[in-house]
Amino acid sequence: MAYQTFRQEYLQVPPVTRAYTTACVLTTAAVQLELITPFQLYFNPELIFKHFQVWRLITNYLFFGPVGFNFLFNMIFLYRYCRMLEEGSFRFFFSDFVFMFLFGGLLMTVFGLFVNLVFLGQAFTIMLVYVWSRRNPYVRMNFFGLLIFQAPFLPWVLMGFSLLLGNSIIVDLLGIAVGHIYFFLEDVFPNQPGGRRLLRTPSVLKAIFDTPEDDPNYNPLPEERPGGFAWGEGQRLGG
């Protein structure tokens, strides 16, 4: 019974979010079980381009460190905001969501050549949070019950939290920068005088991922509860 319940809940998670979070959890489990080591996963341009270890272009986005507070914190934010994006502004347009993943990952990898970061998964999570926060500007957030602010400030609050924990803010700044570039090119520039949409989802992605019909039995997470926990819980202003 428990397995059936878990399976049903798991299959209700939209496909892109399900695939990415599952890959992250399985990668971490494999490291914990010592089936692989982080040295086989991290971002190393020399090993990628000179020794053709191209899997590192992907695996460096899948490992968030050993199981602990930092891992759980990142997984919660990754799952919640990735899912809300997929069920919100990208609903029925999975190809555009996949394209955002590819565009963000490519841009982050290019920037990663110039910064000393060996794993880019946390920066990718911040990118997702940034895009969601800019597309939901009137949602009020509650961070650990201490701060109340509107959604666009969330990435900066997370950066401040990282600073308090003694972590490098380069990760957060990279995620914010890539998220802002995507948001500007997709949501801002096309609506400016003389602007146009520069990011075009390839037709092959549309053919693979887009579904033409709605599923009447699908029950998405309410966007009125961004974050889902005390540090990310919010409600729309005036609600």
Task: From 131, 129, 147, 149, select the one nearest 139 (Cα to Cα).
Answer: 149
Cβ pair 199, 185 in contact under 8 A: yes
The per-residue pLDDT for 219 is 52
- The pLDDT mean for the chain works out to 85
Q: Report if residue 229 sits inside a domain.
A: no
Between 237 and 89, name the one with better pLDDT. Answer: 89
Q: Is 172 exposed, middle or buried (0-12, 13-18, 19+ CB in 10 A)?
A: buried
Instruction: Classify residue 4: in a domain, yes or no.
Output: no
The answer to whether residue 37 sits within a structural domain is yes
pLDDT in tens, 135-167: 999 999 887 677 788 999 999 998 988 888 777
Residue 226 pLDDT exceeds 50 = no
pLDDT at 211: 65
Residue 223 within any structural domain of the chain: no
Q: What is the pLDDT of residue 85?
A: 94
Q: How many domains does the chain have?
A: 1
State the pLDDT confidence band at 239, using cuts at 50, 70 and 90.
very low
Would you place residue 217 in the very low, low, confident or very high pLDDT band (cuts 50, 70, 90)?
Answer: low
pLDDT at 70: 85
Instruction: Give the tokens for residue 192.
Output: 């400016």
Provide the strand spans (E) within the chain: 139-143, 147-150, 233-236
Q: State how far the alpha carbon of 108 is from the alpha carbons of 122, 148, 217, in Å.
A: 11, 30, 36
The CA distance from 120 to 103, in Å, is 14
Residue 143 main-chain phi, psi, to 5 deg = -105, 110
Q: Is residue 92 part of a domain?
A: yes
Residue 211 domain-assigned (yes or no): no
64 is in which domain, residue-wise?
Answer: 9-205
Which residues partner with 120 through β-bridges?
A: none
Sheet with 147-150: list strands edge to edge: 147-150, 139-143, 233-236
Has residue 210 been placed in a domain? no
> Tokens 């997702």 identify what position?
128
* Residue 148 belongs to a domain: yes
Task: Tell me the CATH number at 101.
Answer: 1.20.1540.10
Judge whether 15 and 88 are in contact, CB under 8 Å: no
